[in-house]
C-alpha cells in the first residue's frame, strides 16, 4: 500500500487536543523543574534526573547517567 491512511475529523481533533495537552504539560514540568533548580541554586549545566529525583552534574563529570531533563529550557524538537 502506498497511499496514506487518514483518520476522520473527530479523531483528528481529539489527537490534536491530546498533543496540545501533552505539550502544555511538558512546558509546565520544564518550568517547575527550572524553578526548583533556581530555588536550590543549581549551577548552570546541571540536569534533573527523573529516576533519582536529583539534580546531576554535567555528563563530563558523571558516569552511568540515566534519562534526564535539562535544567535550562531547550527548543522543542517538534
pLDDT tens digits for range 23-68? 999 999 999 999 999 999 999 999 999 999 999 999 876 555 555 5
34 Cβ partners below 8 Å, 6+ apart? 71, 72, 73
- 74, three cell numbers: 531547550
- pLDDT interval class at 78 (50, 70, 90): very low
Amino acid 59: pLDDT: 82
Q: Within a domain: residue 5?
A: no
Give the number of domains in the chain. Answer: 1
77 domain residue, yes or no: no
Does the residue 1 lie in any domain? no
- Tell whether 53 is covered by a domain: yes
Within-domain flag for 75: no
Q: Is the pLDDT of residue 73 over 80?
A: no
| Mean of the per-residue pLDDT values of the chain | 86
Range of the domain at 33: 10-70
Amino acid at each position: 500500500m502506498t497511499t496514506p491512511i487518514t483518520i476522520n475529523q473527530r479523531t483528528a481533533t481529539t489527537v490534536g487536543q491530546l498533543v496540545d495537552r501533552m505539550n502544555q504539560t511538558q512546558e509546565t514540568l520544564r518550568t517547575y523543574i527550572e524553578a526548583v533548580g533556581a530555588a536550590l541554586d543549581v549551577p548552570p549545566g546541571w540536569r534533573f534526573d527523573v529516576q533519582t529525583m536529583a539534580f546531576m552534574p554535567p555528563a563530563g563529570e558523571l558516569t552511568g547517567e540515566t534519562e534526564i531533563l535539562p535544567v535550562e529550557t531547550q527548543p522543542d524538537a517538534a
